[in-house]
């Protein structure tokens, strides 16, 4: 398939808009989803929302198997899935020192090959607790959260639209999502672990929210300024 879409990188405006509901389940929708899968796999992601593909529609695709492939290749991942707490204290995906002193971003080591026993145990929790959709790709049309648990967990999350940025995001551990498939049939999935994080992350995209909304106003502004500068430089280079 010839890729006609490109990954939208901040500060692309489509990333900050509330996406429109899908009204027609037709070949155009199926083509969009196929292109989203291709884009997600080419970027070694585990989830992608339509706005990230430049289409402001309430559609998302997920395939958690991409997480293992991305680790093996050393490529960037959409979601890192590491719990943001250690014996030494809370982890920061964006180091405050680098941001405050240099205006740059620094990435914490995450899920590397020499992960500790604690990390391996957490990985097992994420993979075992996820329901069957964690082991096969699936597309969601007009998804919505219908229930969420009261227990909150913080994890470091990355995003393909914000390369090299990691942010600690606190979310409900358990979540239930209702969505339609490409044929218009309704489904409901209850998830925990990585699938829960991924579901909530992608639904955030559909409402124009991103991981940097969990940062302070100052740090969020600094991140956006950095990406705006990179976009200007890329335009000049062309």
Which active-site residues does the annotation give? 202
3-class DSSP assignment, residue 44: coil
Q: What are phi and psi of 148, to 5 degrees?
A: -145, 145
DSSP 86: B
Contact status, residue 145 vs residue 203, Cβ threshold 8 Å: yes
Distance CA 156, CA 169 (A): 6
Give me the half-sphere count of Cα atoms (radius 13 Å) on the Cβ side of residue 63: 20
Helix and strand totals (H; E) in the chain = 6, 8
Cis before 53 (ω within 30): no
Alpha-carbon distance of 167 to 157, in angstroms, equals 5
Residue 159 makes CB contacts below 8 A (sequence gap 6+) with 78, 79, 165, 201, 210, 211
């Amino acid at each position: 398939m010839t890729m006609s879409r490109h990954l939208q990188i901040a500060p692309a405006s489509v990333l900050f808009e509330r996406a429109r509901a899908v009204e027609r389940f037709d070949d155009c929708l199926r083509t969009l989803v196929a292109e989203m899968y291709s884009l997600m796999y080419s970027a070694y992601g585990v989830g992608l929302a339509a706005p990230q593909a430049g289409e402001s529609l309430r559609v998302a695709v997920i395939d958690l198997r991409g997480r293992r492939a991305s680790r093996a290749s050393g490529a960037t991942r959409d979601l890192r899935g590491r719990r943001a707490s250690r014996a030494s204290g809370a982890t920061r995906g964006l180091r405050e020192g680098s941001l405050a002193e240099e205006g740059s971003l620094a990435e914490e080591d995450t899920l590397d090959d020499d992960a500790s026993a604690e990390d391996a145990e957490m990985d097992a929790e994420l993979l075992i607790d996820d329901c069957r959709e964690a082991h096969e790709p699936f597309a969601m049309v007009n998804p919505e959260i219908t229930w969420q648990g009261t227990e909150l967990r913080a994890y470091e999350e990355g995003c393909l639209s914000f390369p090299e940025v990691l942010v600690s995001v606190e979310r409900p551990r358990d979540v239930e999502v209702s969505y339609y498939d490409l044929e218009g049939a309704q489904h409901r999935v209850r998830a925990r672990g990585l699938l829960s994080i991924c579901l909530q992350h992608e639904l955030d995209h559909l409402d124009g929210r991103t991981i940097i909304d969990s940062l302070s106003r100052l740090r969020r502004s600094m991140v956006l300024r950095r990406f705006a500068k990179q976009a200007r430089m890329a335009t000049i280079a062309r």
